[in-house]
Amino acid sequence: MLPENVKAILEKQKYRIAGNHSAVKLCTWTKKSLRGEGVCYKEKFYGIKCHRCLQMTPAVSWCPNRCVFCWRAIEKTLGPEMTGTVDTPETILEAAIAAQRNLLTGFKGFAGTDMKKWKEAQDPNQIAISLTGEPTAYPLISDLIDLCNRKKMTTFLVTNGQFPDRLENMASPYQMYLSVDAPTKEMYRKIDAPIFKDYWERFTKTVDLMSSFTSRKAVRLTLVKGMNMSHIKEYAKIIEKINPNFVEVKAYMNVGYSKYRLSRDAMPLHSEVKEFSEKLKDELSYNLTNESAPSRVVLLSRK
C-alpha cells in the first residue's frame, strides 16, 4: 500500500517497514539504554523498560492532521484514513517484532552493549503505538490492542482524537494518550492543519469520550514557542473534562521534516516548559511530580 517513493523516504530515515502499511523505528533512548547511557522519560515516569519497548505505527503515512511540528514529511500523507484491504493485527505484530529484532542486530557484540538487556530486547513487552501517522487511522486498531493485551504486552496508544467513533468501543490500552495541541478551534486549525472539515467536532467528541475509558489516561501537550503557549485556562478546562491520571507537558523538538517548517527558536527551553506547567498546575488539581530536562518534559499527576 506504500508507494515506492514514500517507502524510500521512510527507509532513509531508518524506519523498517512491517507488512504493507506499518513501520518500526528504534527509539534513541532504546539505543542509549542498551549502551548504559540512560533511559527515556517514560521509564522514569511510568516504570516501563525502554530497552524492551517496541516503537511502532500501524498507519505510517495516514493521518487526518498535518501538524506544523510533526517530524514526518506531511506532504507525503496518503490520506486521513486507510481504506481497502489492510494487514491483520497478527501480521502487523509479528512483522513489527521481526523488524525490531533486525534493527537490534547491529548492537550484538558491540563493546558498549549490555548483552543481558540486548537479549531481553528481542522479546519486547511494551508497545508504544505512535511513532508517526495516526494509529487509529488503522481500522482494526481495537483488535491490535486486544491482541497485545492477550499476549500480556503493555500498550501506550497516542491519538489526535480525530476518529471518536473508532475509539468509542475500542479495547483498552494500558495507557491512553490524547494529544491536546491547542485549546481553541482557531489555534487547532493553525497548529494541526486538519484535513477533516469537522475537525473540532471530532476532537471535542473524543474529549467527552475520554472520561469513560477505564485504562490509565494521559494528556500530552506539545508546546511550540510563539504558537500555543497561551490560553492556560482553556487548556485547563479541556483537561478537567478528560480527567486524566497524567498530563505530559513537552517541548516541540526541532527534528526531521519539522526543521523545514519551524526554526530552532520554536523549541521552548526546559525552564519555559516548567514555567508553563506551573501555571497550568495552578488551574488544576494536579501536582508537578516529575520532569526530564534532556527531553524537555514535565509530568503533572492527579492529586
Q: What are phi and psi of 240, to 5 degrees?
A: -60, -40
Distance (Å, whole) CA 79 – CA 161: 16
Per-residue model confidence (pLDDT) at position 251 = 96
CB 55 within 8 A of CB 128: yes
CB 32 within 8 A of CB 38: yes
Per-residue model confidence (pLDDT) at position 9 = 86
Residue carrying C-alpha cell 524510500? 8
Per-residue model confidence (pLDDT) at position 219 = 97
Per-residue model confidence (pLDDT) at position 111 = 84
Closest CA to 67 of 166, 204, 219, 179: 179
Per-residue model confidence (pLDDT) at position 231 = 95
What cell numbers appear for 104 in the block?
537490534
Q: The domain spanning residue 185 has which CATH number? A: 3.20.20.70
| pLDDT < 70 stretches in the chain | none
Range of the domain at 196: 4-302
Per-residue model confidence (pLDDT) at position 127 = 96
Per-residue model confidence (pLDDT) at position 2 = 87
Per-residue model confidence (pLDDT) at position 115 = 94
Total number of domains constituting the chain: 1
